[in-house]
């Protein structure tokens, strides 16, 4: 799996006709950040890295780590909304983790989670 991850500043330097849509970049950034919470596993292929989860997220809230992903990003005015499936709307720790990194990369994003 390959993720095209870039900061907004870098994205804005690309010629407009060569820029991937911002929504696509944001979706890739979110999924990259989610994958960063896992480690390889001999039996199940991958598993949540508890140490990394604790260090990066803390308490993620109610989350199904078996199929966690960003499936859509929509533009709402000057903001983007990243929709993440397989997490409770109350998964505040996960939302904070994703929003912190996306915003530090220059993307004005809020994260909405849903089952």
Q: Domain for residue 2, yes or no?
A: no
Sequence length of the chain is 115
pLDDT tens per residue, range 43-95: 878 899 999 999 999 999 999 999 999 999 999 999 999 999 999 999 999 99
For residue 80, give the 3-state DSSP assignment: strand
| Strand (E) or helix (H) holding 71 | strand 69-76
Q: Domain for residue 87, yes or no?
A: yes
Q: Domain for residue 3, yes or no?
A: no
Instruction: Please report the pLDDT score of residue 1 as a whole number.
Output: 62
- Mean pLDDT for the stretch of residues 28-38: 97
Instruction: Please report the pLDDT score of residue 6 as a whole number.
Output: 96
Name the pTM for this structure.
Answer: 0.94
Domain count, the chain: 1
Cα gap 26→8, rounded to integer Å? 9
Instruction: Please report the pLDDT score of residue 7 as a whole number.
Output: 98
Residue 60, number of CB atoms within 10 A of its CB: 23
Domain that holds residue 100: 8-114
**Percentage of residues in the chain having pLDDT higher than 70:** 98
């Amino acid at each position: 799996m390959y993720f095209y991850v870039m900061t907004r500043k870098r994205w804005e330097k690309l010629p407009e006709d060569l820029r991937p849509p911002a929504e696509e970049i944001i979706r890739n950034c979110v999924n990259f950040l989610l994958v960063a919470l896992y480690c390889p596993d001999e039996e199940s292929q991958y598993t949540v890295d508890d140490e990394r989860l604790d260090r990066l997220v803390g308490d993620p809230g109610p989350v199904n780590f078996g199929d966690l992903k960003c499936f859509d990003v929509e533009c709402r005015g000057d903001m983007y909304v990243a929709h993440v499936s397989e997490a409770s709307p109350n998964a505040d720790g996960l939302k904070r983790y994703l929003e912190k990194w996306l915003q530090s990369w220059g993307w004005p994003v809020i994260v909405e989670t849903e089952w």
